[in-house]
Amino acid sequence: MLLGIDVGGTHTDAVLVGDEGVLKSFKTRTDRGNLLGSVTTALAEVTSGFDVKKITNINLSTTLSTNAIVEQKLEKTGLFISSGPGINPENFIMGDCAFVVPGSIDHRGTETLKIDMKMVQNGLSECKANGVRVYAAVSKFSTRNKDHEEQMASAAAGQSDFITQGYRLSSQLSFPRRVATAYYNSAVWRIYNSFTDAVMKAVSQSGISAPVNILKADGGTMPVQVSRDIPVESILSGPAASIMGIIALCDIDHDSVILDIGGTTTDIAVFASGAPLIEREGIKLGGSPTLVRSLQNRSIGIGGDSVLAVTEGNVTAGPERKGPCMADGGDVPALIDALNFLGTSDFGDTARSNDGIRQLAASAKMKPELLAQQALEYAVATIRRAIDSMLEEINSKPVYTIHEMLEGKKIVPEKIYIIGGPARAVAKAMTGMSEITVPEYFEVANAIGAALARTTFETELFSDTGRGVMTMPNLGIEERVDRRYSIEDAKHDALEHTRRFMEKTGYDTSAGPELVEVSAFRILNDYSSSGCDIRVKCQVKPGLIKNLHAKAKGGAK
Amino acid sequence: MIKAEKSLGLVFFPAFDWAISPTHPEREERLLYTQDQLREEGIFDIEGITEFKPDIATEEDVMRLHFCFPDVASVTTGSHLISAGGALRAARAVMDGEVKSAFALVRPPGHHAMKCVHGNRGFCNINNEAVMIEYIREKYGKRKIAIVDTDCHHGDGTQDIYWHDPDVLFISLHQDGRTLYPGSGHLRELGGPNARGKTINIPLPPNTSEEGFIYTIDSMVLPILEHFKPEVIINSAGQDNHYTDPITNMNFTAHGYALLNEKLNPHIAVLEGGYSVQGALPYVNLGIVLAMAGIDYSHVKEPDYDINYNPQDDDITAYIKKLREPVLANYFSPAPDTDRPATGQYYTRHKNIYYDTDGIQESQREHVMMCNDCRGVIMIESSSSVNPPGAGIEIPVFGCKRCRDEGYRLLKEARASNNFVTVQFTDRVNRVYERYGA
C-alpha cells in the first residue's frame, strides 16, 4: 500500500492506495497553526482499519517551508556573496545580515580575483556577535568552480549549525536565483528539520516502517534524509501533486491542458505528448525567482468562491474572494452560487445560492438566469484566455539552434482535463472547444498524486578539458580530466555518477537517469584549440510508482 | 529585484549549430559564454527585460532591398533568414510598443552584405539591418532612419545599400581601412550624387581607446544625429573594437561600449562582429544590455582590465581631434559631386567586388537616375565568377511617377534583351518583388 498526504493551504488530504486502487481517502481543513497536527490526524484517519505494516511508501507534501518564506518567518541567516564583474551585487542582498566580499570566478570557472578572506572573517565575527547560527555562501559561477564557496563555508564551519553552499542546490546558472535559493534554504532549515523530526516520530509511533519521501514542485519526491539538507526543494509542491494525480487517474498521451479549479484560483498546466512541461528556470516565491525546479503551472483569479459583480450590465467573477460562497455560508454570491442556481452543480446550501443570485440580479435589474449564465460564461472566457496566452508563451519560447527554430514543434492541445469543486459545471460550459474529461476521484487528485509520485533528480556535468576539470556541482563531484576526455566519456560519467549518488542517498533508481541535453564546443583561444567545452544534463523525470488508469474511468465526457 | 528603467527586448539567437567552418571565427560557440554570462547575471529575470523568439525572414523581406543572384534561396540558408528575422522581431517589438528599445543578439552578422548578393563576404550574406530598415519603412511608414555602425570593420555593405538614399543616414566608426578589412570607409566616401553627406565615415587610427571613441560620439556623431532628426536610430553593434579582439587592433572596453550605447540611445541594436569569445563578448554584451535597459553598468569590467587595457596615447588623441572638422564638413557642407549628370539622366559607377569568404569576384555597373523628386530608379548589371550576367531594377521606396514609369520601361527592355540570364525587379511603391529568368 502507498500512502500520500498533502497538507495544503486550505485542506489536508490523504489517500491510501492499494493494488485495487484508492482504498481510503480523507479530507479535512488544514490547521495552519499546527501543521503537525494536520499530518498526524490525516495519518491516523486514513490508515485506520488497515494493516499499517503493509504500507511500503509514504509521500508527504507540506506547505511548511512555503508558509515560512511567504510569511517571512525566517531564521536570521548570515549571507556571504562574492560576485565579480556584472550587475551590482548589492542588488541581490537578502535579509539583514549579508556581506558582499570581493572575489571573482569567470564563466569558464577560472579564478580571476582571489576571495578576500579577511572581509569574510570580519563578517563572520559580526554574525557571531549577533548570534547567527545558519549561513549561506554563494559566488558567481560557483557551478563551474566551487572554491570560493568552499573557502567561505570552511571559515564559517566553527560557528554554524548549517551552511548552504550555492553550488549544491542546482547546476543551473543564475547568480541572483542561487543567492535567493541558498538564503531561503538556510533560513527555513531549522524549522523544517524540527518539523520533520516530529513527523518521523509520529510515523514510527504509528508502527509504519516504510521509507518517507517529500514532494517537490517538479512533481517528484526526494528521500526525507536528503530533504533535510535542501528543505527549500519542498516549496510549492501542492500544484505539482495535483498534476501528478491527474496523470495517475487519466491515461494522457496527447498535448493537453489541465485545469484545477479551486476556491480562489484556477491552476493551469500544459502537457506535451502526455508529459508535463517543466519550468525552464525555476519557480518564483516571495517575489524572488529561485532555482527550485517545478512543473509549469499558471494560476489565475477564478475559482468557486470568486465574487460576482455587475458593472454597467456586464457580469464578472473574481479575481477577488470575499470569504466562502453563499452555499458554504458566505455573505456575497460567488461563482459556485451561479452554478448552483443554473443547476449544473449541487454544492452545499443551494437555497442560499438561489437567494443570493436573485438578490444580486434584482439590484442590477437583470434576469437571474441571465446573470448566472453570464457569470459562467465570463469565468469560462477568462480561463480560455489564460490557456491561450499560456500556450502562446510556451510556443514562442526562444530556442537557440537553427534545427529547433526550423523543426520546432508547436503544442496544440487535443484534450482538457478538469478537476476541483466546480469541475463538472465548468466542463459542461466548455464543451465544444476540445474533448473535456473530468476524472473520478478528482476531489483527492492531489493526495493521489502525492501518494504515487516517484523520486526525481536533475544534474549537469560540465567539463572544460582546456582547464582539465569535470564537475557535477550538485553531486559535489570535481575531477581532473585530460584533453582526451570525450563527449562519450562525459555521457557515461553523468549517468554513472548520478546513479551511484541516487543509490547512496536512498532514491528510487528503478527509473534510472536519462540524458536530456548534450552539447560540446571546441574552444579556440585566438586560432589555436584550447580544449573542449562539454555539457551533459541528465535527469530522472517526474513519473509514477504506478497508475490507476484501469481503476478510474473518465467521468463526464 | 532589479527593474529596468527603460523596457528592453532581447532577441537572443546564438545559432549553436552553425559555423562558417570549424576554425573560422564565426563559429558555433561565439555566443556561448555570452549566454552563460547573461544567464548567470539573471538578465532574463529582470522586470522590464523581455526575451523574444526571432521571426524567420521571408524571401520578400530579402528581395525588398537585395538583388540576389541567381535567387534568394541560393545565397541564404536558415541561419541567415533567422538572423535577419531576429532583427525583424526586435524592430517589431519596438514599433508595436512592446518595449522601448531592443537588442538583437544574433549571428551570423550582416553589415558587409551589399545590395547585390552572390555569396558570403566578410562573414555576411544578407544585411540584417537593411532587411530590418526596409521592413520598418514598409510596415510602419517610417522614412528617416539613422544607422550608427560601431563595428571595427567598415560597414561597406550597409554603405553600398544606402549610398543613394538621402533618407538614411549611415555613420560608420571603424579602424582605418588602410589597416584592416575591407579597406574602405575613407573620409572621401560620403554618398552618391542624390545623397551627398548622408554617408559619413569616421576612420579611426589603430589603438583608439575609450577616450577616442567617446570623443567621436560626443563631438561628431551626436551633433550630426541631432541635426538629421531620424525617426529611428539603429546601432550596428559590432564588438570587435575590444582590446582583446583577435582580428583587429583597437583598444575599446566593455564599459566604453556601454557608455557609447547610453549616449547613442538607439531604438534597436543589432549585433555585428566581435570575435573575442571569452574575454570581451560576455562583458560587452552585458554592458550594452544594462545600458539599454537603464541599469547601472559601473560594475561591468573585464577581469584583465587593470592588466591589459592601456589608456590612449596623446598622438592618437590629437589625430582623432583632427578628424572632427572634415567629418562635420562632410555632413553639414558636403562638396558637390562634380560628376553629377543633369537631372533626368543616369549616373553610372563601375564596381569590382571581392567576396573574401567565398572567393567570388563580382563585376558591376550601377545606373542611378538623377532625380529631384525621389532617390531615383536604380538598375544594376552584375556578373560574377559564379553567376552569368543578371540585372536588378529597383523603383525606390517613395519613388516618383517618372521613376516608376522608367522602372517598368527598364524591366521591359531588360527582359527583351538577351543580355541577362536573370532579372530581379523591385517596385517599392506598389510592393512588387519579382524575379525573371532561369
Mean pLDDT of the A151-166 span: 97
Q: Is A451 part of a structural domain of the chain?
A: no
Q: Is B337 part of a structural domain of the chain?
A: no
CATH number of the domain that residue A90 is part of = 3.40.50
Phi and psi at residue B76, to the nearest 5°: -125, 155
Position A320 confidence tier, pLDDT thresholds 50, 70, 90: confident
pLDDT attached to residue A556:
35
Q: Is B374 part of a structural domain of the chain?
A: yes
Pairing of strands A415-420, A256-261: parallel
Residues A203 and A351 in one domain: no
Burial of residue A494, with CB atoms counted within 10 A of its CB: 0-12 exposed, 13-18 middle, 19 or more buried: buried
Q: List Cβ neighbours of A207 (8 Å cut-off, separation of 6 or more).
A: A52, A53
pLDDT in tens, A106-141: 999 999 999 999 999 999 999 999 999 999 999 999
Residues B183 and B313 in one domain: yes
Q: Is B339 part of a structural domain of the chain?
A: no
> What type of residue is A112?
T
Is it true that the peptide bond before A439 is cis, omega within 30 degrees of 0? no
C-alpha cell at B408: 517598368
Percent with pLDDT over 90 in chain A: 72
CB contact under 8 A, B82 and A401: no
CB contact under 8 A, A400 and B14: yes
Q: How many domains does chain B have?
A: 2
Helix/strand/coil for B55: coil
CB contact under 8 A, A173 and B82: no
Q: Is B44 part of a structural domain of the chain?
A: yes
Residues A341 and A219 in one domain: no
Q: What is the signed CA dihedral for B358, B284, B174, B52, rounded to 10 degrees?
A: 60
d(CA B86, CA B216): 29
Q: Is A221 part of a structural domain of the chain?
A: yes
Range of the domain at A477: 457-540
d(CA A38, CA A49): 19
d(CA B242, CA A374): 62
Residues A39 and A93 in one domain: no
Pairing of strands A11-18, A2-7: antiparallel
Residues B412 and B318 in one domain: no
pLDDT in tens, B106-122: 999 999 999 999 999 98
d(CA B358, CA B356): 6
Count interface pairs A-B at CB distance under 8 A: 117
CA distance, residue B107 to nearest chain A CA (Å): 11
Neighbours of B296 (CB within 10 A): 15
Instruction: Give the residue from A183, A162, A200 showing the smallest Cα distance to A235.
Output: A183
Identify the residue whose cell numbers are 527509473.
A511
pLDDT attached to residue B156:
96
Residues B222 and B327 in one domain: yes
Answer for the pair B134, B113: CB distance below 8 angstroms, yes or no. no
CB contact under 8 A, A87 and B42: yes
Phi and psi at residue A367, to the nearest 5°: -75, 135
Residues found in chain B: 438
Confirm or reject contact between A6 and chain B (CB < 8 A).
Answer: no
Residues B303 and B378 in one domain: no
Whether residue A378 has pLDDT greater than 90: yes
Mean pLDDT of the A291-315 span: 92
pLDDT attached to residue A403:
82
Q: Is A444 part of a structural domain of the chain?
A: no
CB contact under 8 A, B14 and A533: no
pLDDT in tens, A499-536: 999 999 999 888 889 998 899 988 876 556 678 999 99
Residues B294 and B350 in one domain: no
A-facing residues of B in 3-32 (CB < 8 A) are: 11-18, 22-23, 27-29, 32
Residues B10 and B105 in one domain: yes
Residues A270 and A379 in one domain: yes
Phi and psi at residue B179, to the nearest 5°: -120, 0
pLDDT in tens, A400-419: 888 888 887 889 999 999 98
Helix/strand/coil for A534: strand
Q: Is A550 part of a structural domain of the chain?
A: no
C-alpha cell at A229: 539538507
d(CA A212, CA A206): 13
CB contact under 8 A, B290 and A87: yes
d(CA A258, CA A413): 10
Domain boundary among A219, A241, A263: A241
pLDDT attached to residue A553:
47
d(CA B104, CA B271): 6
Residues A384 and A512 in one domain: no
Residues B383 and B294 in one domain: no
CA atoms within 13 A on the CB side of A224: 21
d(CA A43, CA A154): 41
CATH number of the domain that residue A222 is part of = 3.30.420.40
Residues A409 and A469 in one domain: no
Neighbours of A67 (CB within 10 A): 17
CA distance, residue B376 to nearest chain A CA (Å): 38
Confirm or reject contact between B94 and chain A (CB < 8 A).
Answer: no
Across the strands, what pairs with A518? A536
Is it true that the peptide bond before A319 is cis, omega within 30 degrees of 0? yes
Across the strands, what pairs with A515? A538
Residues B248 and B124 in one domain: yes
Q: Is B340 part of a structural domain of the chain?
A: no
pLDDT in tens, B266-323: 999 999 999 888 899 999 999 999 999 999 999 999 999 988 898 899 999 999 999 9
Residues A369 and A433 in one domain: yes
Confirm or reject contact between B295 and chain A (CB < 8 A).
Answer: yes
C-alpha cell at A394: 510556451
Residue A474 falls in which region: left (phi positive, over 0), alpha (psi -120 to 50) or beta: alpha
Pairing of strands A288-289, A298-300: unpaired
- Chain A neighbors of B18, CB-CB under 8 A: 402
Residues B288 and B371 in one domain: no
Q: Is B341 part of a structural domain of the chain?
A: no
Instruction: Give the residue from B252, B245, B259, B282 showing the smallest Cα distance to A104.
Output: B282
d(CA A134, CA A440): 46
Q: How many domains does chain A have?
A: 4
Domain boundary among B275, B308, B332: B332
Burial of residue A297, with CB atoms counted within 10 A of its CB: 0-12 exposed, 13-18 middle, 19 or more buried: buried
CB contact under 8 A, A87 and B53: no
pLDDT attached to residue B97:
97
Q: Is A556 part of a structural domain of the chain?
A: no
CB contact under 8 A, B299 and A403: no
Residues B299 and B383 in one domain: no
pLDDT attached to residue A380:
93
Identify the residue whose cell numbers are 563527449.
A487
B-facing residues of A in 375-414 (CB < 8 A) are: 396-403, 405-406
Q: Is A159 part of a structural domain of the chain?
A: yes
CATH number of the domain that residue B76 is part of = 3.40.800.20
Is it true that the peptide bond before B203 is cis, omega within 30 degrees of 0? no
d(CA B150, CA B158): 12
Residues A391 and A335 in one domain: yes
Helix/strand/coil for B413: helix
pLDDT attached to residue A555:
39
Neighbours of A131 (CB within 10 A): 8
What average pLDDT does the structure give for chain B?
A: 95
Give DSSP secondary structure letters for B307-376.
Answer: HH--PPPHHHHHHHHHHHHHHHHHHHSPPP-TT---TTSEEEEEEEEEETTTTEEEEEEEEEE--SSSS-
Residues A475 and A394 in one domain: no
Whether residue A449 has pLDDT greater than 50: yes
Position A557 confidence tier, pLDDT thresholds 50, 70, 90: very low
Mutate to test the interface with A, among B40, B240, B243, B296 (most CBs of A within 10 A): B40
Residues A55 and A173 in one domain: no
pLDDT attached to residue A552:
53
Residues B392 and B423 in one domain: yes
pLDDT attached to residue B363:
96
pLDDT tens digits, chain B, 438 residues: what are they? 789 999 999 999 998 888 888 778 888 889 999 999 999 999 999 999 999 999 999 999 999 999 999 999 999 999 999 999 999 999 999 999 999 999 999 999 999 999 999 999 989 999 999 999 999 999 999 999 999 999 999 999 999 999 999 999 999 999 999 999 999 999 999 999 999 999 999 999 999 999 999 999 999 999 999 999 999 999 999 999 999 998 999 999 999 999 999 999 999 999 999 988 889 999 999 999 999 999 999 999 999 998 889 889 999 999 999 999 999 999 999 988 888 999 999 999 999 999 998 999 999 999 999 999 999 999 999 999 999 999 999 999 999 999 999 999 999 999 999 899 999 999 999 999 999 986
Q: Is B338 part of a structural domain of the chain?
A: no
Q: Is A507 part of a structural domain of the chain?
A: yes
CA atoms within 13 A on the CB side of B48: 16
Identify the residue whose cell numbers are 527603460.
B6
pLDDT in tens, A35-76: 999 999 999 999 999 999 999 999 999 989 998 998 899 999
Active site residue B227: no
Residues B386 and B299 in one domain: no
Percent with pLDDT over 70 in chain A: 97
Instruction: Give the residue from B115, B18, B140, B122 showing the smallest Cα distance to B62.
Output: B115
What average pLDDT does the structure give for chain A?
A: 91
Helix/strand/coil for A416: strand
Instruction: Give the residue from A507, A413, A403, A523 showing the smallest Cα distance to A465.
Output: A523
Residues A140 and A96 in one domain: yes
Residues A206 and A279 in one domain: no
d(CA B329, CA A46): 88
Neighbours of B154 (CB within 10 A): 29
In angstroms, the Cα distances linking A73 to A65, A167, A234 are 9, 25, 16
Range of the domain at B101: 3-332
d(CA A55, CA B193): 89
CATH number of the domain that residue A349 is part of = 3.30.420
Among the partner residues A87, A113, A523, nearest to B41 by beta-carbon distance: A87
Q: Is A11 part of a structural domain of the chain?
A: yes
d(CA A267, CA B51): 24
pLDDT attached to residue B236:
97
CA gyration radius for chain B?
Answer: 21
CA gyration radius for chain A?
Answer: 25
Helix/strand/coil for B75: helix
d(CA A130, CA A126): 6
DSSP for residue B393: E
Percent with pLDDT over 70 in chain B: 100
Pairing of strands A275-276, A266-272: antiparallel
Q: Is B101 part of a structural domain of the chain?
A: yes
Identify the residue whose cell numbers are 588623441.
B317
- Chain B neighbors of A402, CB-CB under 8 A: 15, 17-18, 78-79, 82
